[in-house]
A and B are shown apart, each in its own frame.
Chain A
Amino acid sequence: MILSAPKIAHIGLDNRVYQTHCLHPKNFLQFLGGRGLNSHLTFQNRSINFPMVFITPGLLTGTLCPSSSRCTIGTNISPSLGRWADGNLGGFFGAELRRAGWNQIWLEGISEKPILIYIENQKIKSVDAGNLWGLGVHDTTERIREEFGPDAQSLVIGPAGETQVAYACVMSGDRAAGGGGIGAVLGKMKVKAIVVRGTRGLEPAQPEEFMDACLAAHKQVRSNPLFGEFSQSGTSIITSIYKGVKALPVNYWDKGDSPHAYKFEPGNLKTKVVKSRACYGCSIHCSHELTFGFEGVEYEALNGLGLKIGITDLDECLRLIKWFNNLGLDVVQTSGVLGMLMKMTEDGFAMNMDRIKFGDAEAIWTRVASWMDSRRRDLSFWNGLDAGFERYSEIFPPGPDGNKGDVLKRFRRKYSVDIKNSMPPSLDFRVPENFAATIACMTATRGADHLRSLAPIEAYGQWYGREDLEAMAIHFGIPSDIMKEWLDLDGFDPKINSKSIRGKVAIISYFQDQNAVTDALGLCRFASSWRMGVGLELMAEMVSTFLGIDMNWCGLRAVGQRITVLERYLNSKVYGMNKFSDYPPEKFFVEPLNGRNQLSHHDVRSARDQFYEYNGYDEQGCPTPDTFEKLGLVVK
C-alpha cells in the first residue's frame, strides 16, 4: 500500500515564506481531510493564540464522486464565537486546490499590507492587492478573473471582512463559508483573496474500481425519488415544508406562519430563475442563476433576509441577499442579529443607533452600510454577541444587590436565541416534528448548527410506516442494522416520550458521525446525509478504492467520531463549556408557538443526557478517556 503523502502548504504571512509539510500517514488515515484535518490541526495547536486559517478541501474533492466539491475553512480564533470555528463551501475552489496538488493551505501571521495569494500548482506567490482592497466580492472576483484567466478559482473577502465585522464570511463566487466570521480573520491577516489554478489532477489508486464506485453513487443519487424535486427547487422547498407545519421563523420566531409565506416557496422563486447551475462534479445542480445576476439562493438566505426580519417581498429579499453576498456578510448570523435588534426595538429596549423596525428594508440598507465603518460598529453587536451585550449592560441599572451581571444575563436570555454564541438556522425548535433538529442544533460542536447532525430522514420517517422505512433504508444509504435499531427504538415516532427520545438520539448520533465524514471527504450534504442516499457504505467503497486501502463503513464512522470528539474536547477543556452550553435558547421554553407548542425542560435534559451517554461523553459533555482510547486518539 502506497499512500501519496498529503501535502500542506504552511504560509507565514509575516515574512511571506511558505514551507511544505507532509502529514504522517497514520494521522492522515485517522482524519482523511476537510473538517477532519482542520480539527486535528486546531487540536494540535490549541495552545497557540495568534490567528490561523486552515483551508482544506475534502479527501474526495475534485474527483468523480458525486457532489464532491466542498472545502472546509477553519480558524482557531473566531471573532463571533470566541473559539475555533469552521465553515464549508462548494463551488469550484476546493477542487481546483486539490488539482493543484495541495491537501491544505495553512495561513498564519499578519501581513503588512493587503495581499493576494496566488497558487499555480506547486508555485505559491504573494501579489500586492492594494488595488483590490475595498472592492466588493463581485468586483474582486471579476478583476481576478481578468487578471489570472477564466479558469482560475478564487476565494475572496468583501468589505465586511476587511473591516472585520464579526459575521464576515469567505466567498467563492456567490458561495459562502459563513459561521464563525472567518472573513474577519482573513481581513485581520490582510489577505484579500486566494487564487488557485491547478492542472495536476488526482490519481485514484485503483482507477477502474473507483470509477465503478463513483458511477454506482451517481446512480444512487439519481434513482432517489426526491432527486427531481430537489434539483429543481434546491433548499427553498423547506419553506413549503415548514409552512405546512406552521414552523416558519416569522418576525424572529414570533409567529409560525405568515400570509406572505407563499412568495418564498419554490413555485414563486422559479419565476426568477434563468438557469440551473452546479458545483464541481455535482449531478444534483440545486443552485440557480437568478434574474438578479447572482446564483445559488437557498432556504437560509431566503428566510433569514425574508420572513425572519419581516421582509415580505421576494424581490426586496433577493436584492438584500445579493448585497450581503457582495459585502461578504454571513446571512444566517447577520439576519439573526438584525431580527434580535428588531425584537428589542419592538419592546423599546434597543439603543438609539440600533433601533430598527420589522420589515423596514430601507433602514436595513442604511444601518448595515454604516456598520461597515468600524467606529460606529464598536457600539453595537457587530463585534460579536458578547461584546454587544457587554455594551448594553451599561444602560441597565444594577439589580437589587448591586449586581449588573444578573440583569444582563436575563436580558440576554430573553432576546438572544444563540446557542454557544451562534445564531440558529431558520427552523423552529418548538414544534414536535423538529425535536430531533433541536437535539441536533443544541449538541452541535460549532454552535446552533443544523449541518452538524440534522437528519431529515427523521422528519420523513414520520410520514411512513415501518415496512416502508425498512425498504427505504437503501434510498437513504443507511446500513440495515442501524435502521432496525432506530425502528426498534421508535426513533421516527413524532410523539415525544422516553422511548422515542432514545431513538431520536440514536439517529442524531449516527448522523453526527456521518456528517463529519461527509465534511472530511468533501461531499455535499445533499448527496449524503440529507436526501440522496450516498451513505457510509458507498463512501467507504469510494475511499478504499481511491486510497487503495481496506476501509469499511465502521472504520469510516470512527473517522467521524474522532472529529467530533476532538471538537468536543476543545470546547470543554480549552473553552470551558459544559452541559449548559448544550441547551436551546430560553425563548423556546417560555413563548409558545401558535399558542400551544413549546419545549419542555424535562424532554430536552433527558435527550441531552442520553446523547452524552450514547456517544461516550461524561455528564458535562466532554469525551471520556475511554472514548479517546477506543478511537485511537492520544491527548498530549
Chain B
Amino acid sequence: MRKERIKSLWSHLTSTPVEIVRGFSRAVVLVTRQLILLENPVERILPKSALLCSFQPKKLSYEKADSYLGFLLTKRIRVDYTKCTGCKACELACSLNHYGRCEPEESRIRIDRQCKKSAEFFPFVCQHCTMPECVVVCPSGACTRTKEGLVVVDPELCIGCKLCIIVCPLSSAAWNWRLGQSMRCDLCEGEPVCVKVCSTKAIDFH
C-alpha cells in the first residue's frame, strides 16, 4: 500500500513541474497539502487544525505501526501552537547553534504564519517518524534513520533534490538555501536549544 502510494507520488512529481518559491515554508505547506489530497483523499483529509496538531502521533495512520521503543517515543519536541507567539527565538537559537548564524531561514524548526490577521503561528519541526517518507524517497541515501530513531541527513551525500521536503506529511523537513541542502532537527544531543529559549512552552521536550 505504502509502496504504491510513494510510486504514485513519484509519478505525480515527474509529470507535474513543482515550483517552490523562495521563503518557502508557506508554499511547501500548500504543495504538500495538495499532494496529500491528490494522492489519498480519504485517509489524509483532515481539517487544517488537525493537520497542524498532527504532531500528536495518534492522528496519523502511519504512526500506527509505531513499534519502535527508543527514547524518541517517550521524548520528542511537542508543539502546542495555541501558545506560540511567533517571536522566532527558537529559529534563531537553532540556526545559531548549528550554523553559527542568526538566520531563521537556516533553522531546522520554523514558524509558519498561516493567517496574518488571526495571529496564528505554527512551529514545524521534524518528529522523527517511525516510517519516515523522506528516507524512502531520498534518491542518494543521504537521509537515513539511525538506530536511536533519529532521522538524519548526511550533508555530504545530499544532492539537493528537495524531494524530502515535498513528501514530508508534516511539512517539517527543512531546507537550507545557503548550502543548498536538506536538514533535520537533531534534538541538539538531547537538549534542544529551541526549547530552552521558548518562553511560553509552545514547544516542549518531553
On A, residues with C-beta under 8 Å from B are 62-64, 66, 99, 145, 149-151, 197, 199-204, 207-208, 210-211, 214-215, 218, 221-222, 231, 274-285, 289, 293, 295
20 A-B pairs, CB-CB below 8 angstroms?
A150-B23, A197-B23, A199-B22, A200-B103, A201-B102, A202-B103, A208-B100, A211-B193, A214-B197, A215-B197, A218-B197, A222-B199, A231-B199, A275-B85, A275-B120, A278-B86, A279-B87, A281-B89, A282-B89, A293-B117
Are B177's CB and A64's CB within 8 A? no
From A150, A231, A279, A285, contact of B113 by CB (8 A): A150
Are A145's CB and B100's CB within 8 A? no
Are B97's CB and A282's CB within 8 A? no
A381 to B61, CA, bound (A): 67
Cβ–Cβ < 8 Å partners of B85 in chain A:
275-278, 282, 285
From A211, A222, A282, contact of B96 by CB (8 A): A211
Are B87's CB and A99's CB within 8 A? no
* Mask: chain B, 168-206; 1 = CB below 8 Å from A; 0 = not: 000000000110000000000000010011111000000
Cβ–Cβ < 8 Å partners of A275 in chain B:
82, 85, 119-120
A221 to B117, CA, bound (A): 29
Are A283's CB and B101's CB within 8 A? no
Are B92's CB and A295's CB within 8 A? no
Q: How far does the Cβ of A187 sit from chain B's closest Cβ, in whole Å? A: 26
Q: Which of B84-130 contact A (CB under 8 A)?
A: 85-89, 92-93, 95-97, 100-103, 105-106, 113, 116-120
Are B101's CB and A295's CB within 8 A? no
B26 located at the interface, meaning its Cβ lies under 8 Å from any Cβ of chain A in the complex: yes
From B21, B87, B93, B119, contact of A282 by CB (8 A): B87
Are B199's CB and A285's CB within 8 A? yes
Are B96's CB and A64's CB within 8 A? yes
Are B118's CB and A211's CB within 8 A? no
Q: How far does the Cβ of B94 sit from chain A's closest Cβ, in whole Å? A: 10
How many B residues touch A, CB cutoff 8 Å?
Answer: 35
From B22, B26, B102, contact of A202 by CB (8 A): B102
Are B106's CB and A201's CB within 8 A? yes
A277 to B85, CA, bound (A): 4
Are B26's CB and A277's CB within 8 A? no
A222 to B201, CA, bound (A): 12
A295 to B121, CA, bound (A): 15
Are A211's CB and B199's CB within 8 A? no
Are B103's CB and A201's CB within 8 A? yes
A210 to B200, CA, bound (A): 23
Known: A199-B177, A204-B96. 13 other contacts (CB 8 A): A62-B102, A66-B89, A149-B23, A150-B23, A199-B103, A202-B102, A203-B102, A231-B199, A278-B85, A283-B87, A284-B199, A289-B118, A295-B119
Tell me the number of A-to-B contacts counted with CB atoms below 8 Å: 104
Cβ–Cβ < 8 Å partners of B106 in chain A:
201
Query: With A200-B103, A201-B106, A202-B101 as given contacts, are A283 and B92 in contact (CB-CB < 8 Å)?
Result: no
A40 to B82, CA, bound (A): 44
From B23, B101, B103, B119, contact of A277 by CB (8 A): B119
Cβ–Cβ < 8 Å partners of A276 in chain B:
85, 200
A207 to B106, CA, bound (A): 15
Query: With A207-B96, A218-B197 as given contacts, are A281 and B88 in contact (CB-CB < 8 Å)?
Result: yes
Q: How far does the Cβ of B87 sit from chain A's closest Cβ, in whole Å? A: 3
Are B92's CB and A281's CB within 8 A? yes
Cβ–Cβ < 8 Å partners of B86 in chain A:
277-278
Cβ–Cβ < 8 Å partners of A210 in chain B:
96
Which 8 A-B residue pairs are closest in the complex by CB-CB distance?
A201-B103, A278-B87, A207-B100, A283-B199, A278-B85, A289-B119, A285-B85, A201-B101
From B93, B118, B120, contact of A64 by CB (8 A): B93
- Closest A residue to B119 using CB positions: A289
Query: With A64-B93, A222-B199 as given contacts, are A285 and B87 in contact (CB-CB < 8 Å)?
Result: yes
Are A274's CB and B197's CB within 8 A? no
A66 to B197, CA, bound (A): 9
Are A151's CB and B23's CB within 8 A? yes
A293 to B116, CA, bound (A): 11
- Closest A residue to B114 using CB positions: A150
A197 to B21, CA, bound (A): 14
Cβ–Cβ < 8 Å partners of A221 in chain B:
199
Q: How far does the Cβ of B48 sit from chain A's closest Cβ, in whole Å? A: 17
Are B105's CB and A281's CB within 8 A? no
- Closest A residue to B198 using CB positions: A283
Are A204's CB and B100's CB within 8 A? yes
Q: How far does the Cβ of B66 sit from chain A's closest Cβ, in whole Å? A: 33
Are B113's CB and A63's CB within 8 A? no
Cβ–Cβ < 8 Å partners of B26 in chain A:
150
Query: With A211-B97, A215-B193 as given contacts, are A280 and B103 in contact (CB-CB < 8 Å)?
Result: no
From B82, B87, B105, B198, contact of A199 by CB (8 A): B105
A90 to B199, CA, bound (A): 18
From A66, A201, A203, A274, contact of B118 by CB (8 A): A274
Are B103's CB and A285's CB within 8 A? no
Cβ–Cβ < 8 Å partners of A281 in chain B:
87-89, 92
Are B177's CB and A283's CB within 8 A? no
A211 to B196, CA, bound (A): 11
A145 to B26, CA, bound (A): 13
Cβ–Cβ < 8 Å partners of A199 in chain B:
22-23, 103, 105, 177
A280 to B102, CA, bound (A): 12
Are A283's CB and B119's CB within 8 A? no
Cβ–Cβ < 8 Å partners of A99 in chain B:
103
